[in-house]
Amino acid sequence: MSETGTRINKFLSEVGYCSRRQADALIEQGRIYVNRKPAKMGMKVSEDDMIEVDGEKINQSKKKKIFISLNKPRGVVCTTNAGVEENNIIDFINFSERIFPIGRLDKTTTGLILLTNDGETANKILKTANNNEKEYLVKVNRPIPETILRKMSEGVPILGKTTKKCIVEKVKTNQFKIILTQGLNRQIRRMCDYFDYKVVALQRIRIMNIKLDIPEGKYRLLTDGEIKLLKK
């Protein structure tokens, strides 16, 4: 254990194991050990320390950065806990190297999700203060007028706070697009519930500069150009 090293959550993200947020969760669950002792939140480590997650020693060499775009089907769960959760995203994609999802989509939500082994970039994408856009296609259970969509765009009280102003555009009688820069728990569903509408289909179609352009259930590697823009 080092007094002058790197915080353990940052260290794990830099070597491509997981994001800082996921590392903090693993520490709280008692699943990370440093030199055979349980890791503590905020502790610092160095390359001389032995770091284990669930008994597995972490390869501390820097890895080539991988970014994947997946069109997630309904029923796939966005978790890295592959041994416990059935239909988890890691087993579904079955990639040859360790990767993890950047954020999550609900089990019933479909569409674009990014996976990577670059914890630092994942952390920047997830940080609400960076105002990174995520665009969704939403279908509700009955016709929704422009007046409701306008009110939705101005902010809706959910979870004890008012949602940020956002862009909402009508597509069909009971379908609209929405662009968010925050990610509250089940945010779109709760926003629709507030106006007494039920979401019957929800699909994410864009994250920042990455658009959904592959069939459901398929994935592709991002191009160098896409990754460069994403990191900006």
* Tens digits of residue pLDDT in 53-69: 998 888 766 667 899 99
Q: What is the pLDDT of residue 196?
A: 97
Residue 39 maps to which CATH number? 3.10.290.10
Amino acid at position 187, single letter:
Q
Q: Is residue 10 part of a domain?
A: yes
- The CATH number assigned to the domain holding 83 equals 3.30.70.580
So which residues are the catalytic ones?
Answer: 106
First to last CA, the chain: 33
Answer yes or no: pTM beyond 0.85.
Answer: no
Question: pLDDT value at position 82?
Answer: 67
Sign of CA dihedral 20, 31, 67, 204: negative
**What is the domain extent for residue 74?**
67-127+212-231
Q: Hey, what are 89's tokens?
A: 């995203």
Distance CA 224, CA 82 (A): 29
Give the span between the Cα atoms of 61 and 13, in whole angstroms. Answer: 12
DSSP assignment letter at 77: B
Find which of 72-86, 96-110, 209-223 is predicted with most confidence, using mean pLDDT: 209-223
**192 and 168 within one domain:** yes
Q: What CATH number did the domain enclosing 173 receive?
A: 3.30.70.1560
pLDDT tens across 164-201, in order?
A: 999 999 999 999 999 999 989 999 999 999 999 999 99
Identify whether residues 202 and 220 lie together within a single domain.
no
Per residue in 22-46, pLDDT (tens digit) is: 899 999 999 999 999 999 999 999 8
